[in-house]
Amino acid sequence: MIKNTFHFARPGVWLAGLLALGVLLPAQAAIPIEHWTHTSGARVYLVASPSIPMLDVQLDFDGGSRRDPAAQAGLASATAGLLSAGVAAQGSQPALDENQLSEAWVDLGAQFGAQASSDRFSLSLRTLTEPDLLERAVALAARQLAAPAWPEPVWQRDRERTLAALKEADTRPATQAGRAFARAVYGSHPYGFEPVAATLNAISMADMRAFYRRHVAACRAQVTLVGAIDRARADRIVGQLVGAVQPHGCAALAPVSQVQPLAQAVNTQLPFDAAQAQVLIGQPGMARNDPDFFPLFVGNHILGGGGFVSRLTNEVREKRGLSYSVYSHFSPGLHAGAFQVGLTTRPDQAAQALGVAREVVRQFVEQGPTDAELQAAKDFLINGFALRIDSNRKLLDNVANIAWNGLPLDYLDTWTEQVQRVSVADIRRAFSRVLQPDRMVTVVVGAQP
């Protein structure tokens, strides 16, 4: 949100080709995930992938935007952004400003970055596993973790850029719709916090330092590694990286409240002079650990997640020509993320498009899919499963999500079986439990009265 924190190297042609291809992996019948607890308390998950001499590492901490104070929305993302703005001097090692730090990563042909999502504060390293390069890349990453420079001028510059971007975004109806939707769905829950000028101006360098030290602690670290290393080397790398934040301590974090269900329908219509009206419908949906995750996932593919083959597209676009694109999705996290239906349409057609979309959702919740729709969805999802894990980066993302959400270590091995087992009755039961069509948020921006 604050800035792109990855430094893309100028590697040789061979490494550039690997990065461009996403480092393709061979198909596997099983994906063995090794798991252990490091002496620091960090939880470690390793997939050894020796076919390509490359390593991807991700460190996750409970420090996403759900940990932002309401008056400082954007703090987690700002903190992540400033981690790449230089390192302080350490012993005989001189300080590096943001340009020197970027050049150091370029020289290694490696990448390091930080980002904050709703739930996680994540740090990522990608490097070749040639011994000298790997050692130097891990050492530089550890130094960046241990001694961020926190330069005030860089934050002032980045804040001004972000404020300008927010001001420009305010001129778009989609921005207005998204903000109104989040406020209505999440209420006072941090999932609904949006950075604005007042909250960004309230963030100081001292706030970032304190946020970083409070949340980025070795004992709370989850470290995922995918690449051409064995367990012994992985454990040494983990020790070097989490050792850089070991002094931060491990004070208990306050619990975050759950997203509350809606007590009644909320309807918001905002005037906006635009060629297209923005329509959003939804409510709090599911958390990632919901036992009905697969029925909801497969069902949503049929309802509106499957693009041109979805029921919403067929009814809203194909039969009536009311919108070029219409979709639905769940956004599961540690808490109940939003279920959302979205479309754009001509302002004079907004009421009709909204009515059709609502009716499609209502019918789907009550009746579920047909047998033919379910079989087509299963075929598509199962046949496309290999594309979900066909690179180091995708595999890393999947394993990190398994670890973060406490899923079984054989989750990827049983994924297609879980999809295959979903029945029409499962989908109807799950959707009826999670969604209440008569208690949804509706936001329309730019429609004609």
For residues 206 and 277, state if they share a domain: no
Are 302 and 339 contained in the same domain?
A: yes
Q: Which pLDDT value is given to residue 56?
A: 98
Residue 24 scores a pLDDT above 80: no
Whether residue 7 lies inside any domain: the answer is no
Same domain, 197 and 319: no
Q: What is the pLDDT of residues 124-159, one digit of tens each?
A: 999 999 999 999 999 999 999 999 999 999 999 999
- Residue 114: phi and psi, rounded to 5, are -135, 150
What DSSP line would sit under 88-121, residue for residue?
--BTTBPPEEHHHHHHHHHHHT-EEEEEE-SS-E
The angle, 0 to 180 degrees and rounded to 10, between the axes of the packed helices 371-383 and 424-434 is 90
Residue range 419-433, pLDDT digits in tens: 999 999 999 999 999
At residue 342, the 3 state secondary structure works out as strand
For residue range 344-390, what is the model confidence (pLDDT) as tens digits? 999 999 999 999 999 999 999 999 999 999 999 999 999 999 999 99
Domain end, chosen from 216, 248, 280, is at 248
CATH code for the domain in which residue 348 is found:
3.30.830.10
- What pLDDT shows up at residue 448? 72
Q: Are both 439 and 301 inside the same structural domain?
A: yes
Provide the residue range defining the domain that includes 381: 266-445
Question: Are 280 and 178 in the same domain?
Answer: no
The dihedral through the CA atoms of 389, 390, 392, 397 has a sign that is negative
| Total residue count of the chain as it appears in this document | 449
Answer yes or no: do 336 and 210 share one domain. Answer: no
**pLDDT mean across residues, the chain:** 93
Residues 6 or more apart whose Cβ sits within 8 Å of residue 348: 447, 448
Instruction: For residues 309 and 415, state if they share a domain.
Output: yes
Q: Which of 248, 279, 309 is the last residue of a domain?
A: 248
The number of distinct structural domains making up the chain is 2
pLDDT tens for each residue of 331-348: 999 999 999 999 999 999
Q: What is the pTM of this model?
A: 0.91
